[in-house]
Amino acid sequence: MTTTRPTSEPTRAGREGGELQETERMVSTGGPGRGPMGGGMVGQKAMTFGPSVRRLLGRLRPQRGRAVAVVVLAVASVGLTALGPRLLGEATDIIFDGFLAERPIDFDAVRDVLLLVLGVYVVASLLSWLQGYVLNDVVQGTVRRLRSDVEDKVHRLPLEYVDRQPRGELLSRVTNDIDNVSQTLQQTMSQLLTSLLTVVAVLSMMLWISPVLALIALVSVPISMWVTSRIMRHSQTQFVAQWRRTGQLNAHIEESISGHALVTVFGRRREVEEAFAEQNDALYDASWRAQLVSGLIMPVMMFVGNLNYVVIAVVGGLRVASGTLSLGEVQAFIQYTRQFTQPLTTIASMINLLQSGVASAERVFELLDAPEQTPDAVGAAAASLPPGGRGEVRFEHVSFSYDPAEPLIEDLSLVAAPGQTIAIVGPTGAGKTTLVNLVMRFYELDAGRITLDGVDIAALPRDELRGRTGMVLQDAWLFGGTLRDNIAYGRPGATEEEVLAAARATYVDRFVQSLPEGYDTVVDEDGGNLSAGERQLLTIARAFLADPALLILDEATSSVDTRTEVLVQRAMAALRSDRTSFVIAHRLSTIRDADLIVVMEDGRIVEQGTHAALLAAEGAYARLHRSGAGGAPVDGVGTAEAAVTGHENPVVPAGRPT
């Protein structure tokens, strides 16, 4: 709780105790908001712009051949396109000469030149089309691989990594950031390439025609660069402000919508809307400033271009008047000036765009560079479970912690005989969930080992271990799909009858019948309008269908009412017989008949034994059982229901078996 360890506790509670669902729900709703995550980075990360761009380009390597082809095609088509005005200028000169000399224009010569130009243009367009076509394939292929690399990575990330950061943050990386990268690549690659080449090509054409005029035109380059960098620096601070405001507003929206019912019943709608309006105004203020500053690039660059144009026209005109240049050359030159400033403008706005794309790429790369879980042993090194193993689980001097500074589980030993039901009880933060997660090898041990049927689980391929294990988590995760699909997730290929049987055995069938579309009801990601209890029943049905050798129930029925729970317990009892089960439950009533009750406190086992033995021992369990005398910040959930069984109640016959 906040009272004791304000900084570390929320994280730990999030992993361990009843807060999990709540925390995750809150964070995950932050996922779709594109703003705060993507935008905020632009400012902070601009320092590593270069390396990230290089790395992004490096991802084109598998398609090196095609990438080279793109560059060659681009060079050829840009070169030819740049030649166009020069040749057209020649035609103009012929016309102008004839015009000036007041003799018939040599239209045969004009025709020859124009036919040549026509050919050049056709070929240039063709090459440019080919270039765009191949580049498109290259970019889409690269994006596709980037996505699949990220997805790949998600499955190799250790859970510690996933737990450690806010879920919305990770989600933002795998969705918004990749989108942004792919959009940026698609929009900028082609234009940047051709613009850069065009600048070079046009510049050389200009130098060819008139070095003096070319030098004048060149002056616009540093001016453009200076202007662009000034504007970009401003736009960056403005964009940071905009994204910060967006983040704040999104947080407010998120909270108001998540707490919708409360806002309504407390009649707070007006206040919430006022606060919203205030922040919305602040965002508006930041946004239009950001848009204004970044929107300045185009007009300002065009102005620089126009200045250039004016100077060229004047100087060029003077030079023709003085006879140093031909009119056709000036005309061509003016066209080149246009062709020169336009790509400069494009480059400036593309770099602006690229910045946000690169910031996203960096975040994606960070994810790709994250440490991975130790790979499974392969081949000869890989162990396998003995056939006919009955599910004996042994903890031998197990130690584990998320954070070395705060040991969580220390030197814990425990034996679960085949077929036994092991109940784990204890206050929030005692390490119950962690303990069962270790059996699934969701985390790697710091010391000691865990064996299943005598085999060290660290030597087993994870799939083999988990394939034998069924788990129902307190986090009732459903995916977007029908209820039927969600149940069948436990065992793909299960028949309709098997799914229905599992649903009936776990009392899912009852509430499904009241839904308009029955088993075809589509649940959305957050479970739609199913209650917490209904969602839990669904996940139990899923595990029921999976029919595993080793069963782990982590607060599986905490949101189910007691009567339904009794029914589910019966089904689960049938399921549990013959298989080793670990059960974490906050209602002590549901675990009284466990073969072994393990009481945990601060990552250690403080007691173990049967219900009767532990009660007789008058230790931690008996205290827990008598419950809540302390009241205060013990495990709010863990001890809550204990009282029911502890206190005498009129219906219960005296001397009931315990």
Partner 1 sequence: MLLRLLRTHLAPYRRWLAIVVVLQLSATVAMLYLPSLNADIIDDGVAVGDTDTIWRLGGVMLAVSVVQIVCSVLATWFAARAAMAFGRDLRGAVFGQVMAFSGREVGTLGAPSLITRTTNDVQQVQMLAMMGSTMAVTVPIMMVGGIVMAMREDLGLSWLLAIVVPALFLCVGVVVSQMVPSFRLVQERIDEVNRVLREQVTGLRVVRAFVREPLERERFAVANDSLTEVSVRAGRWLATMFPLVMLVVNVSSVAVIWFGGLRVDSGETQVGALTAFLSYLMQILMSVMMGTFMLMQVPRSAVCADRIAEVLDTPSSVVPPARPVTAVSLRGHLDLEGVGFTFPGAAQPVLRDVSLQVRPGETVAIIGATGAGKSTLVNLVPRLIDATAGSVRVDGVDVRELDPDLLWSRVGFVPQRAFLFTGTVAQNLRHGRPEATDDELWQALEVAQARDFVEAVPEGLEAPITQGGSNVSGGQRQRLAIARAVLRRPEIYVFDDAFSALDQATDARLRAALAPQTRDAAVLVVAQRVSSIRDADRIVVLDDGAVVGTGTHEELLAANPTYQEIVASQHGVEEAA
Site for partner 1 in 497-526 (CB under 8 A): 510-511, 513-516, 518, 524-526
- Using the structure block, give the residue that is written with the tokens 């990594």: 161
**Contact call for residue 248 and partner 1 (CB under 8 A):** no
Instruction: Please pick, from the candidates 66, 75, 291, 595, the single residue that binds partner 1 as defined by CB under 8 A.
Output: 291
**Contact call for residue 446 and partner 1 (CB under 8 A):** no
Site for partner 1 in 412-441 (CB under 8 A): 428, 440
Nearer to partner 1, 52 or 341 (CB): 341
**Contact call for residue 144 and partner 1 (CB under 8 A):** yes
- Using the structure block, give the residue that is written with the tokens 């985390």: 443
Nearer to partner 1, 394 or 611 (CB): 611
**Contact call for residue 632 and partner 1 (CB under 8 A):** yes
Residue 488 to residues 102, 316, 496, 551, 557, Cα–Cα distance (Å): 90, 78, 9, 18, 20
Site for partner 1 in 324-343 (CB under 8 A): 327, 330-331, 334-335, 338
- The tokens describing 126, both together, are 């063709």
Nearer to partner 1, 192 or 296 (CB): 296
Nearer to partner 1, 48 or 311 (CB): 311
Instruction: Please pick, from the candidates 88, 232, 483, 503, the single residue that binds partner 1 as defined by CB under 8 A.
Output: 88
- Measure the CA–CA gap between 135 and 189, rounded to whole angstroms: 8
Q: Which amino acid belongs to residue 38?
A: G
Rounded (10°) angle between helices 35-45 and 327-368: 110
**Contact call for residue 174 and partner 1 (CB under 8 A):** yes
Nearer to partner 1, 3 or 380 (CB): 3
Site for partner 1 in 15-34 (CB under 8 A): 17-19, 22-26, 28-29, 31-34
Nearer to partner 1, 258 or 413 (CB): 258
Q: Which of 548, 543, 555 is nearest to 580 (CA)?
A: 548
DSSP letters, 310-376, are: HHHHHHHHHHHHTTSS-HHHHHHHHHHHHHHHHHHHHHHHHHHHHHHHHHHHHHHHHHHTS--PPPP
Nearer to partner 1, 293 or 600 (CB): 293
Instruction: Please pick, from the candidates 164, 230, 397, 570, the single residue that binds partner 1 as defined by CB under 8 A.
Output: 570
Give bridge partners of residue 451 from the DSSP assignment.
394, 456
**Contact call for residue 10 and partner 1 (CB under 8 A):** yes
Instruction: Please pick, from the candidates 75, 110, 221, 415, the single residue that binds partner 1 as defined by CB under 8 A.
Output: 110
614: left (phi over 0), alpha (psi -120 to 50) or beta: alpha
Count other C-beta atoms under 10 Å from residue 212's C-beta. Answer: 13
**Contact call for residue 283 and partner 1 (CB under 8 A):** yes
414: left (phi over 0), alpha (psi -120 to 50) or beta: beta
Measured in residues, the chain has a length of 658
- The tokens describing 586, both together, are 């906050």
- Using the structure block, give the residue that is written with the tokens 């690399």: 149
Nearer to partner 1, 256 or 401 (CB): 256
**Contact call for residue 407 and partner 1 (CB under 8 A):** no
Are 199 and 144 spatial neighbours (Cβ–Cβ below 8 Å)? no
**Contact call for residue 49 and partner 1 (CB under 8 A):** no
Q: Which amino acid belongs to residue 220?
A: S
- Measure the CA–CA gap between 317 and 611, rounded to whole angstroms: 104
Site for partner 1 in 572-601 (CB under 8 A): 573, 589-590, 592-593
Are 436 and 582 spatial neighbours (Cβ–Cβ below 8 Å)? yes
Q: What's 377's DSSP letter?
A: P
Instruction: Please pick, from the candidates 13, 192, 207, 370, the single residue that binds partner 1 as defined by CB under 8 A.
Output: 13
| Least spacing, CB of residue 656 vs partner 1, in Å | 6
Site for partner 1 in 344-403 (CB under 8 A): none
Instruction: Please pick, from the candidates 79, 357, 426, 470, the single residue that binds partner 1 as defined by CB under 8 A.
Output: 470
Q: What's 640's DSSP letter?
A: T
Count other C-beta atoms under 10 Å from residue 119's C-beta. Answer: 11
| Least spacing, CB of residue 48 vs partner 1, in Å | 25
| Least spacing, CB of residue 282 vs partner 1, in Å | 10
**Contact call for residue 40 and partner 1 (CB under 8 A):** no
What does the buried/exposed string (b/e) look like for 506-544 if buried means 16 or more CB atoms within 10 Å of the residue's CB? bbbbebbeeeeeebebebeeebeebeebbbbbbbbbbbb
Binding part of the chain for partner 1, among 45-53, 124-132, 198-206, 220-228 by CB under 8 A, reads 124-132
- Measure the CA–CA gap between 199 and 67, rounded to whole angstroms: 20
**Contact call for residue 259 and partner 1 (CB under 8 A):** yes
Count of residues in contact with partner 1, rule CB under 8 A: 214
| Least spacing, CB of residue 585 vs partner 1, in Å | 12
Output the CA torsion sign for 421, 23, 558, 585. Answer: positive
Quick note: the x/- pattern for partner 1 over 67-86, rule CB under 8 A, is --------------x--x--
Quick check: helix, strand or coil at residue 487?
A: helix
Are 564 and 376 spatial neighbours (Cβ–Cβ below 8 Å)? no
Instruction: Please pick, from the candidates 206, 213, 241, 300, the single residue that binds partner 1 as defined by CB under 8 A.
Output: 300
Nearer to partner 1, 283 or 385 (CB): 283
Torsion, Cα 586 587 589 590, to 10 degrees, reads -70
**Contact call for residue 184 and partner 1 (CB under 8 A):** no
Nearer to partner 1, 200 or 296 (CB): 296
Site for partner 1 in 152-171 (CB under 8 A): 152, 154-155, 159, 162, 167, 170-171
Instruction: Please pick, from the candidates 47, 381, 629, 654, the single residue that binds partner 1 as defined by CB under 8 A.
Output: 629
Site for partner 1 in 544-563 (CB under 8 A): 546, 559-563
Instruction: Please pick, from the candidates 12, 15, 16, 35, the single residue that binds partner 1 as defined by CB under 8 A.
Output: 35
Instruction: Please pick, from the candidates 55, 234, 268, 604, the single residue that binds partner 1 as defined by CB under 8 A.
Output: 268
Output the CA torsion sign for 132, 138, 140, 143. Answer: negative
- The tokens describing 532, both together, are 């917490």
